[in-house]
Amino acid sequence: MAEHPTEAAPPPPTHEKREHWSGQTAFILAAIGSAVGLGNIWRFPGQAYEHGGGAFMIPYLVALLTAGIPILFLEHAIGHRFRGSPPLAMKRVHRHAEGVGWLHVAICFVIGLYYTAILAWALSYFFFSFSLAYKDDPAGFFTSDYLQLGEAGTFSTSFVPKVIIPLVAMWAVTIVILALGLHKGVERLNIVGIPVLVATFLVIVVRALFLDGAADGLDALFTPDFAALKDPQVWIAAYGQIFFSLSLAYGIMITYASYRRRRSNLTAPGLVVAFGNSSFELLAGIGVFATLGFLAHREGVGVGELDGIAGPFLSFVTFPATIAEMPGGAFFGALFFASLVLAGLTSLVSVLQVVSAALQDKLGLKPRTAAVLVGGTSAVLSIVGFGTTTGLYLLDTVDNWSNQLGIVAGAITMIAAAVWLGRRGHELERHLAAVSTLRPGRAWLWLVSAVALLLIYMFVDKAVTLAIDGYGGYPTWYLVVFGWGTVVFLALVAFLMPFLKWRRDISRFHPWPSREQLNLPADVGERHTEDYDPRGRS
């Protein structure tokens, strides 16, 4: 149009369109929603109990302060400054680091497959609680009546309808939430879900504290065994728990931070998330052990003599056994399983959002299309793998490899790419300081690098142990296919996906906030960011 030639100025540099949280509270609740999950309810109490009881709080707190919070800040800084799902954000961190992001995406994809299965069991148990269907023989009910467990170390194709029906229901709910988008789906789920979850859990814990024997349970959990502090495995367990519990190194916090607005305080909300998660963990520990104290009291044994204090058996055998004995058990049971479903759903949505966001960024898909694609594919795989009579064994194996090796590798490569290879450490530190009320300081970067060294040790230690000792008594072929196979899958995704062409123009990008606001010296970040050309000419 030649009518107003003087107005035809070149368009200002545009920022890519990205969904946004409606505010800081929405972000905090979503991040807490991701962090608070099965790890808090069934993993933490068992870990604490096995690793020194009350004394475990020392390595746990040290791990939170030296690794949890620093890595949480790192992910928030990467996600916010480079605004993208892990592959996009990491590509902007360093042009050869896109694969690190895909590693995160692949881990999230795998976790989504089996996390949903556990939620499906919890959903079934919510309904079983009304009639206390598991009352007579909780262990037999779980393994034979419900899961119809086949032989360990085999892969069965006979499906279990009782598991598949709730599994399909969980996937349907998850797909709808993701397809509604960040605002109407993920955000609303957490704004409503997290307060409800905390309130429900408080009711459960207060009830548990009034059971006979509750004090014995708390004694078992909190009596410190200081000798445990000399054992390196106890420290490794504490670091592992912090990573899992805060959802670190899965790319979730990168993704969630990428939806924050330009002027967003990063560190203070990070602390709220970290301490909020640990508070819930402590609350869950108290509730679980008070209840175990009651069961031990009933059976006339010590808490330490009870079987199934950790993992799935805690929630699906030991807890039902307790509930069946307790006055008002049906109500209490329904509340417990409802909170398990809710806590898990907010975590599940966060892992799948990472996969969906990555496909949106790479392929230019709309949120709804990506959600349906990711959710649909995952649902089918999840049903084939975990809806059968051998689902529990597969879950156990895949979980062990993806969590013990996968995420440790995800964390090491992320730190290596951002701080060592990309030399973004100071830039990210200034970024945090420029937008946040609470400045991280120099010690932050040192901690981040030190954590990476510790993780390298953990990775080698675990890999060697798994290779030599195997796991869980499963046959070697089974572990090679499903355990090491999981690792091969993760590695293939990380290596191959970067070769796929970006279907969206990601070049018109300026890191947030502006260089002036940051007071950056002229040399920082120029090489990788401002002159960055995704078509490989730079």
**CA triple 522-525-528, angle to 5 deg:** 130
Q: Which is nearer to ligand PHE, 108 or 303 (CB)?
A: 108
Measured between alpha carbons, how far is residue 316 from residues 242, 248, 330 in Å?
24, 27, 14
3-class SS of residue 159 = strand
Q: Report which residue type is found at 99.
A: G
Distance CA 447, CA 441 (A): 11
CB of 276 to ligand PHE, least distance (A): 12
Q: Which is nearer to ligand PHE, 107 or 419 (CB)?
A: 107
Give just the sign of the alpha carbon dihedral 44, 53, 56, 211.
positive
Distance CA 515, CA 413 (A): 27
Q: Which is nearer to ligand PHE, 111 or 448 (CB)?
A: 111
DSSP of 456-491, one letter per residue?
HHHHHHHHHHHHHH-STT--HHHIIIIIIHHHHHHH
CB of 204 to ligand PHE, least distance (A): 17
Q: Report which residue type is found at 370.
A: A
Q: Which is nearer to ligand PHE, 245 or 390 (CB)?
A: 245
Pick the stretch among 20-28, 35-43, 73-81, 447-455 that binds ligand PHE (CB under 6 A).
35-43
DSSP 16: P
Q: Is 60 near ligand PHE (CB under 6 A)?
A: no
Q: Residues 30, 40, 255, 297: which binds ligand PHE (CB under 6 A)?
A: 40
The count of other CB atoms within 10 Å of the CB of residue 462 is 18
Q: Is 37 near ligand PHE (CB under 6 A)?
A: yes
Q: Residues 26, 29, 32, 38: which binds ligand PHE (CB under 6 A)?
A: 38
Q: Which is nearer to ligand PHE, 277 or 397 (CB)?
A: 277
Q: Is 39 near ligand PHE (CB under 6 A)?
A: yes
Q: Which is nearer to ligand PHE, 39 or 285 (CB)?
A: 39
Distance CA 18, CA 366 (A): 11
CB of 353 to ligand PHE, least distance (A): 10
Whose tokens are 């509730």? That residue is 287
Backbone φ and ψ for 59, nearest 5 degrees, come out as -60, -35
Q: Is 197 near ligand PHE (CB under 6 A)?
A: no
CB of 443 to ligand PHE, least distance (A): 26
Pick the stretch among 30-38, 79-87, 160-168, 512-520 that binds ligand PHE (CB under 6 A).
30-38
CB of 180 to ligand PHE, least distance (A): 20
Distance CA 306, CA 297 (A): 11
Residues 465-484 that bind ligand PHE (CB under 6 A): none
Q: Which is nearer to ligand PHE, 247 or 267 (CB)?
A: 247
Measured between alpha carbons, how far is residue 92 from residues 95, 353, 368 in Å?
6, 20, 25
Q: Is 425 near ligand PHE (CB under 6 A)?
A: no
Residues 334-393 that bind ligand PHE (CB under 6 A): 347, 350-351
Whose tokens are 């998330």? That residue is 273
Q: Which is nearer to ligand PHE, 407 or 447 (CB)?
A: 407
Backbone φ and ψ for 446, nearest 5 degrees, come out as -60, -45
CB of 39 to ligand PHE, least distance (A): 2
Residues 88-117 that bind ligand PHE (CB under 6 A): 111
Contacts with ligand PHE by CB under 6 A: the residue count is 13
Distance CA 154, CA 79 (A): 41
Q: Which is nearer to ligand PHE, 40 or 66 (CB)?
A: 40
CB of 36 to ligand PHE, least distance (A): 6
CB of 416 to ligand PHE, least distance (A): 21
Measured between alpha carbons, how far is residue 356 from residues 28, 132, 170, 342, 374 in Å?
20, 38, 17, 21, 6
CB of 440 to ligand PHE, least distance (A): 23
Q: Which residues contact residue 326 at a Cβ distance below 8 angstroms, ignoring those fewer than 6 apart?
A: 211, 294, 332
Residues 221-260 that bind ligand PHE (CB under 6 A): 244-245, 247, 250
Q: Which is nearer to ligand PHE, 45 or 422 (CB)?
A: 45
Pick the stretch among 38-46, 144-152, 187-195, 527-535 that binds ligand PHE (CB under 6 A).
38-46
For residue 9, count CB atoms less than 10 angstroms from its CB and return exposed for 0-12, middle for 13-18, buried for 19 or more.
Answer: exposed
Q: Which is nearer to ligand PHE, 134 or 201 (CB)?
A: 201
**Which positions touch ligand PHE (CB under 6 A)?**
35, 37-40, 111, 244-245, 247, 250, 347, 350-351
